[in-house]
Structures are given as C-alpha cells and as structure tokens.
Structure 1
Amino acid sequence: MEDVRICPEHGFYRGESCDTCGYVGEVVIPKDRVERLGKFISGVLRHFPDKFGLEMDENGWVDFERLLRIVSRRYRWANRWVVKALIYSDRKGRYELKDDRIRARYGHSVPVELNDMPEAEEDLLYYGTSEEESVRLLELGIKPVNQTFVHLSTTLEKSEEVARLRTDEPIILEVDARKARDDGIRLIKVNEHIVLAKEIPPEYILREIRL
C-alpha cells in the first residue's frame, strides 16, 4: 500500500512521485489510512450498502453525499477531499464518481446489472485459475463465486497476474469473446483490464494455456 499524494499539475497519485512528471507531492492520505478507507468504501459499495441504509440502483450507483456521511462517521478524518483523493488516485479503477453519484465498477456481491457500461469489443478474453479448478471449469463453464459477475482479463499477462494471487502454477483459459457476444452473452467492459459476464458456458472456452 502507498501514500496518496497530490501533484499541482496532474492531481492525486499514489507513491513517492507523480507518474507523469516526477513531482514529489504532499501526502494527502498516509498509506495505513489508504488501506483502511479503501477497504471500508469498497465494502460498502460492493457488498453491504443495506447495512448502512444506502440505497443502490441497478447499476450500482449510490448518492455520494450519503456515502460521505457514512464514511465520516466511521473515520472523522475522512472528509470530502480525502475520499476524492482515494477515488481519483486508485490505479485499478475500482470506483466511478459522476456528478453527485458514486459506484464500484466491479467486484459486487450484491445484485447489480451495470446496464450503463459499454460492451467489450475484444475477440479473446482470459480467465486465470488453478490446474485443479480448470478441469471443472472446462466441463461446467465459468460461473461467479461469491460475486455477481465472472471477472475476465483482457490480456494473458493480466490473467496470469490475477491467478498468481491464488496459485503458484496458474492455468489460463482462453475465451472466445467474439462468439459469446454474437450468441447474446453480454460482456461488460469496466476498465482497460477487466471484463464482466454473468457466466461463460463451456462451449466458449477455446483452450487451456499452461505457463
């Protein structure tokens, strides 16, 4: 985890210096607070909005002012400036803030549709898993576990990176995204690296890639 700092020209960033110009900015959120605040906001937006009386629409949007009040009751130091710093500096594109609304882009366990997100245009997508699990997935297809959507990667490299968080010997499943899309399976592009689907039936898995 890294500190969140601010560059006067390029805004909030994480790490020692601005990725764009190298400026060493003032710390806005120290790294220990980045971790605590990030886990809390992600939890509220992905998993338990009802616990805090936060109304979420089918696309995952909630009222930003209401979220701020919830966050500030938990962390008195987390004002509007701090919360926006966390959101805008996030390299993984976890959040989207638009006008007076905010949402998590992916990772939901609560039911959402995300109908206002674009469809992915990639011909191939990738899913990283273990060798043991790949046998089951090739037979039954890829289905979400503890989440609303399956998370697919846009590149082989990114899928390997994700898989290595769970196993030292990842297997990558290559998915025929073009055929799946042509057959009516909705593939949601949430950022440069992640595409979501309700599920991927086995007929769209082209092959295993052993690394």
Structure 2
Amino acid sequence: MHLNLDSMIRKCNEHGYFRGESCPDCGESGRYVLDDEREERLGRFISGALRHFPDDVGLTMDEQGWVNMDLLCDIMDRRYKWATRERLISLIESDLKTRYEIKGSKIRARYGHSVNVELDYLETELPYLYYGVSQEEVDMLLDTGIAPMRQRYVHLSTSYGKAIESASVHTENPVVLEVDVDEAQNNGLHFMLVNDDIVLTDGVPPEYLSVVEIEE
C-alpha cells in the first residue's frame, strides 16, 4: 500500500495533530495516527453520517445537527476496527477546512448538510460576501436570487478569492456575485459565520446581488 506522507495525520506532543511529514509549528515528525487511505474512508463515512444520512447509520441528530460522540464511535468501531476515537479526533482537529466540531459529548458538521437542521452560529459582521457561479448562471441568479441546491443552506464565501476557488471546481471561467450583507441584514435576513471562509444563509433575493467587475 502506498502512503502519501503529505496527507498522513500525525501528532506532535507539543502542538497536537497535523497533516504532512512534520509539525508546521516545530518541525518534529511526530507520531503516526492515520494514513491517507484510511483518512479518506473515515472522512467519507463521517461526512455521510453527520451531513446526509444520520438515521441510516443509527444516529439521532438534534435540531442543531449534533449527535452523540460515544454512539458515533461505537458505530465506527463496528464498521472499521481501526477507526478509533483518537483517529476521529485527529481527522477533525487537523482539518484545515474545519468541517466538523466537537462540544463535550457531542459532534456535528459545521456546514454541507442536506438533512434539515437549524444551525445556531453567530451573525457575520462582514458587509459583503461572495458567490462564484458559471457564466451561464449569472443572468438567472440576478433575476431569481440564490437558493439552496441539494443542501440545507446557501454557502457563501467570505472573500472574492475563496468564491473563485469554490466555483472553479465546477466551471473553468467563474463569475463572482457580491452580496450586500448590510442591506440584507437590515431587512431581516440572517448570515451565519461558520469558519473563516464560509457563511451560511437560507437564500439571497436578487435585489442584494451584483456582479463583481474586475478591471483588466
């Protein structure tokens, strides 16, 4: 089996879990915790369980998206004997995209849900947010607004660059829409900041959207 050292999860005694060959804070190689193949398998399972089909794997999810950590670990152990609690924690704490969070005896996904949840993050204080789309979608969204597609919430980006990065997964020449958050919040819309890059909202009406024009 080939091990990708760049994505392997290790633990530094001083700085905790990290991904790669050496701790980014001190350069120590640390202790092996999880290889890239198992990290990918565990990541897919956790994503499904916490975002898409908790009932199917035997989890009860509350309104804010939390499930019991002990029960999740028991379910993991039955599926993958190598999937220990430490390996789950290492996957979460080393994740630069901060997809998940642990609070006491509970765990949840921060974003990406297709199940119906009511997340409870604080309002963003950013005056503008961004949404990357294909050129073919621009006119339609400016006319109808942005609504969730296969997900519970619309996922907005906190910067122009992040919007380009997100949209580039789906289109070669993305266009970025700017969301007037201040005006939308003044009219009762809510925008939840879940991490440094992503803000969630129920939807964005067209009157708060404009195309970001880039000077050549």
Is TM (by shorter chain) over 0.5? yes
Q: Which amino acid aligns with 2:7?
A: E
Q: How does 1:1-211 map to 2 (within 5 A)?
A: 2-115=7-120, 117-209=121-213
1:38-70 deviations in Å (ceiling 9; x for gaps): 011011000000112211111100000011111
Q: Which amino acid aligns with 2:107?
A: I
Q: Tell me, what secondary structure is at the counterpart of 1:131?
A: coil
Query: How many residues align structurally?
Result: 210
TM-aligned CA deviation for residue 151 of structure 1: 0.3
Report if aligned partners of 1:3, 1:15 keep a CA contact under 8 Å in 2: yes
Q: Which amino acid aligns with 1:144?
A: P
Normalising by structure 1, report the TM-score. 0.96
Q: Tell me, what secondary structure is at the counterpart of 1:191?
A: coil
After the TM superposition, list the runs of 4 or more consecutive aligned residues in structure 1 that deviate by more than 3 angstroms. 208-211
Task: State how far apart, in whole Å, the 2-side matches of 1:209 and 1:4 are.
Answer: 41
Task: State how far apart, in whole Å, the 2-side matches of 1:151 and 1:209 are.
Answer: 21
Structure 1 vs Structure 2 CA RMSD: 1.3
Task: State how far apart, in whole Å, the 2-side matches of 1:72 and 1:134 are.
Answer: 46
Q: Tell me, what secondary structure is at the counterpart of 2:108?
A: strand
TM-aligned CA deviation for residue 206 of structure 1: 2.5
Report if aligned partners of 2:19, 2:94 keep a CA contact under 8 Å in 1: yes
Deviates more, 1:39-48 or 1:199-208: 199-208
Q: Tell me, what secondary structure is at the counterpart of 1:81?
A: helix
Unaligned runs of 5+ in 2: 1-5
TM-aligned CA deviation for residue 210 of structure 1: 5.4
Of all paired residues, the percent bearing the same amino acid is 50
